[in-house]
Amino acid sequence: MKDNGPFLQVSNLSKRFGGVQAVDSVSFELRQGEMLGIIGPNGSGKTTLINLITGFYKPNAGKVLYQGKDITGLMPYKIADLGIVRTFQMVRPFYQLPAFKNLIIPLYSPRVKRLAGGKYGDRDAIAIDLLEEVGFERESLVPYKITSALPHGYLKKMELARSIAMRPELVILDELFSGLSMAELASMLPIIEKMISEGITIIMVEHRLKELFRIANRVIVLNHGTKIAEDIPKDVMKSEEVKKAYLGTEVT
């Protein structure tokens, strides 16, 4: 890691859709190896912010610096190629194929080839190993099952495996925990903790606050596209403004 500035620096990022200011001058910094949580009520601009960082939307104003390099407005595949990998809230895998085939696409990417020294290796075998790593039981042949037969929890884990397959430096998880049962969640947390221990920097957009607060180092709160709080998990909900955003104001 270079010591010339933060790992990721987002400054005054803004995005407008017609009359709606979806993200309004949001700034934050991220150190390498950190685990940052982004929370906020529905429609507060969390996913838009992710889309801005990963290049799916072009910002109206503001800058994103990644390891000192300006990546504002780059194509999404170029940003992914630099090692910023995101997951999607809605999983749309190849339902008709065996589960492990879903990891072939990231394993086919130029980044993976480059990092493996110009060779792809046996993609099928690597894909099955990766799935086993995120909890697809190999003995019961889960990685080989047709994707449509898998429960939702496995699909979310597959989405996580898809990001790990890219050998990422920064992973942005967009509501990874949504729609999971407590048991599925419990099996998901160790995987994320393992990613953190391996030095992967993580941004996590989440509605499941309890679980997020357990693993996050720092939390940002968005409301109506603006950052209203930034603090360590223990203290972030103490802010009056955050309470208002989540619980509403009293009618007087």
Partner 1 sequence: MKPAIGMKYRKERIDRGIKARTEDIFALLSFREMLYLLAPRAILLLAVFITPLFLGMYGKKVLINTAVFALLAMSWDFLISVGMVSLGQALFFGVGAYIAGILNDSLKWSPLFTIPIATLGGGAICSILLAPVLRLRGVYFAMVTLAMPLMLMRIIEATKIFGGTEGLHGLAPLPGVWLELYLSLGMVIAVLFFLRRLINTDYGLVLSGIRDNDRSVLSSGINIYWYKMQAVFVASAIGAFAGAFMTHAYMFVGMPAFELDYSILPIAAGVVGGTGTFAGSMLGAFILVTLSEILRGVGGVRIVFYSVFLVIFIVVLPEGIFHYLQRKYHQFERWVKVEE
Give the binding site for partner 1 (CB under 8 A): 54, 56, 75-78, 80-81, 85-86, 88, 92-94, 97-98, 101, 104-106, 108-112, 123, 146, 162, 166
The C-alpha angle 71, 117, 64, rounded to 5 degrees, equals 10
Our CB check for partner 1 shows the closer of 20 and 75 to be: 75
Beta-carbon contacts of 159 under 8 Å, excluding residues fewer than 6 positions away, are 87, 88, 91, 176
- Please tell me the distance from the alpha carbon of residue 150 to that of residue 216, in angstroms, as a whole number: 29
Rank residues 200 and 236 by Cβ distance to partner 1 and give the closer one: 200
Q: Distances in Å between the alpha carbon of 73 and those of 48, 83, 171? A: 14, 16, 18
Is the Cβ of residue 15 or residue 86 nearer to partner 1 in the bound state? 86
What whole-number distance in Å separates Cα of residue 238 and Cα of residue 17?
32
In the complex with partner 1, the residue whose CB is nearer, 75 or 232, is 75
Is residue 67 a contact partner of residue 7, using CB atoms and an 8 Å limit?
yes
Rounded to whole angstroms, how far apart are CA atoms 128 and 30?
32
Between CA 27 and CA 44 the distance in angstroms is: 15
Please identify, using beta-carbon distances, which residue of 80 and 222 lies nearer to partner 1. Answer: 80
> Distance between CA atoms of 93 and 148, rounded to whole angstroms?
9
Nearest approach in angstroms of CB 235 to partner 1 is 33
CB of 198 to partner 1, least distance (A): 19
Identify which of residues 33 and 76 has a Cβ nearer to partner 1 in the complex: 76
Least distance between partner 1 and beta carbon 102 (Å): 9
Q: How far is CA 81 from the centre of its chain?
A: 15
Q: By C-beta, is 15 or 218 nearer to partner 1?
A: 15
Distances (CA, A) of 205 to 97, 107, 115, 141, 220: 29, 25, 28, 32, 10
> Could you tell me the smallest distance in angstroms from the CB atom of residue 140 to partner 1?
17
**C-alpha closest to that of 225 among 239, 245, 209, 208:** 245
To the nearest whole angstrom, how small is the minimum distance from the Cβ of residue 249 to partner 1?
Answer: 37
- In the complex, the smallest distance separating the C-beta of residue 116 from partner 1, rounded to whole angstroms, is 13
